[in-house]
Amino acid sequence: MEIRLDKGNVFEHISEAELNSLQGRMEDCSDALLEKTCKGNDYLGWVNLPGKIKAEEIIAIKNAAERFLDESEVVVIIGIGGSYLGARAVIDALTHNFSCIQSQKARKHPLILFAGQNLSEDYLSDLLEILDKKDYSIVVISKSGTTTEPAIAFRILEQHIEDKYGKDISKRRIIAITDKARGSLKKLAGKTGYETFVIPDDVGGRFSVLTPVGLLPIAIAGLDIGELLEGAKEMSAAIKGNSSFEKNIAFYYAAIRYLLFNKGKVIEMFVNYNPSLHYFTEWWKQLYGESEGKQGKGIFPAGADLTTDLHSMGQLMQDGVRNIFETILWVEKPRKELTVPEDKANYDELNYIAGKRINEVNEKAMLGTEQAHKAGGLPVIKISIPELNERNLGALIYFFEYACALSGLLLDVNPFDQPGVEEYKKNMFKLLGK
Ligand code: PA5
């Protein structure tokens, strides 16, 4: 497995004895996940997902993606939370940073835009303005089929696409991903005859990226979903085949986080050094926040894009309250090559790095920051992957999912529900007069 977890300086904050004393509990939590005896055991479908998805379903996903490729310059993915973040994380990580202004020919695949993840009138109005002038299709995703944000976005876009192409053509341009039987979206898709993919009953939203929820948008963006699943499968085998901390990075990561939390490190700052990983961080934040944050427990999952945020959050990380630990996600090799040019005048005095790859400068910034943060009293963990590709991201996704489930079980919460999310909805519905 090409993903490495470097324990950094954590043993300045916890002891090896403390870690080793968790071995038995980690094994129990992992066994409970695999034997489906843990809390939330009706939502464990994701555990065996990478090897379980049927070949026919993958073919159907690829066929749908092909059809959209022929017909659409833009595909709007409608969904919120677990119904869009995983897809967005992978698509942003692996496509051109400026795909939104690339030509269709250069991009070779439809541009993916997102809706239904907010209630901004301006956002939706701006989107409609863009869609007036583009050939587009829609993928609407909601497991419950009743979530307000995507339901509103879909109501608006469904009317827009029907006005644009007529009912018959627009029917081919809409795909719904939802529960196999329940919810208004299922009802609507059944009535209208939209092509539909099913979210398995036993997979919750934030663990659903390796179902059609993530796979269809990722395939539409031209990425290799077979490789993504292979990477996840490899990671699943590696995690399930080994329970020693040295060999099982999911055990290691979950145990270290738990011990740090118990020492008052209640905030985890997840940092990347690559702007295309911004949404990977957002996916990670949702996964850990919704899974662990309950019954007065849970590490607060925060994120920063470095080096950008060193100029905003850097001071606090270096010198603020020492209740933070840092997890670095480092990608060793960039996809492209660029060096710092020589400049005769050298007014900026940068000639000492002329000829160096930008990534070398980025790496030195990462190493320098890591040293500074360690010296400033932050526990630092580093997770490295050789490069950004589908296989490595599939492995990372599975690794974080498994470690998240273990983390929740260590805290003795149900990692697979989110009862707290209902509170704002109750108030909103009341205020809206529902
Ligand atoms: O992880 C979860 O279960 C949630 O974040 C959901 O994905 C999110 O609330 C969207 O729900 P739905 O797919 O039912 O619209």
Q: How far is the CA of 40 from the centre of ligand 1 (A)?
A: 16
Known catalytic residue: 246?
A: no
| Residues 69 and 148 grouped into a single domain | yes
CATH of the domain at 336: 3.40.50.10490
Q: Are 19 and 403 in contact (CB under 8 A)?
A: no
Known catalytic residue: 297?
A: no
Q: Does 401 have pLDDT greater than 90?
A: yes
Domain around 21: 4-37+228-410
CA distance 378 to 368: 14
Q: Atom of ligand 1 at shortest distance to CA of 204? A: 3
Identify whether 315 is part of a domain: yes
Q: Which residues line ligand 1 (CB under 6 A)?
A: 80-83, 142-144, 147, 150, 204-206, 290, 418
DSSP SS3 for 326? strand
Tens of pLDDT, residues 325-358: 999 999 999 999 999 999 999 999 999 999 999 9
Identify whether 420 is part of a domain: no
Which helix H or strand E contains 195, and what residues bound it? strand 195-198
Q: What is the pLDDT of residue 1?
A: 60
| Residues 21 and 68 grouped into a single domain | no
Tokens of 132: 């007036």
Ligand 1: residue of 78, 84, 147, 152 to mutate (most ligand atoms within 8 A of CB) is 147
Identify whether 434 is part of a domain: no
Identify whether 432 is part of a domain: no
DSSP SS3 for 268? strand
| Residues 365 and 397 grouped into a single domain | yes
| Residues 217 and 233 grouped into a single domain | no
Q: Are 304 and 271 in contact (CB under 8 A)?
A: yes
- Residue position matching structure tokens 């149900």: 414
Q: Does 184 have pLDDT greater than 80?
A: yes
CA distance 399 to 284: 11
Tens of pLDDT, residues 218-258: 999 999 999 999 999 999 999 998 888 888 999 999 999 99
Q: What is the pLDDT of residue 157?
A: 98
Q: CA quadruple 96, 98, 99, 102: dihedral positive or negative?
A: negative
- Considering 205, 223, 241, which residue would you say is the last residue of a domain? 223
Q: Does 433 have pLDDT greater than 70?
A: yes
Q: What is the domain count for the chain?
A: 2
| Residues 65 and 173 grouped into a single domain | yes
**The pTM is what?**
0.97
Q: How far is the CA of 169 from the centre of ligand 1 (A)?
A: 29
Tokens of 121: 């009138």
| Residues 253 and 110 grouped into a single domain | no
Cα angle 71-193-149, degrees, rounded to a multiple of 5: 80
Tokens of 305: 């894009």
> Length of the chain in residues, anyone?
434
| Residues 192 and 265 grouped into a single domain | no
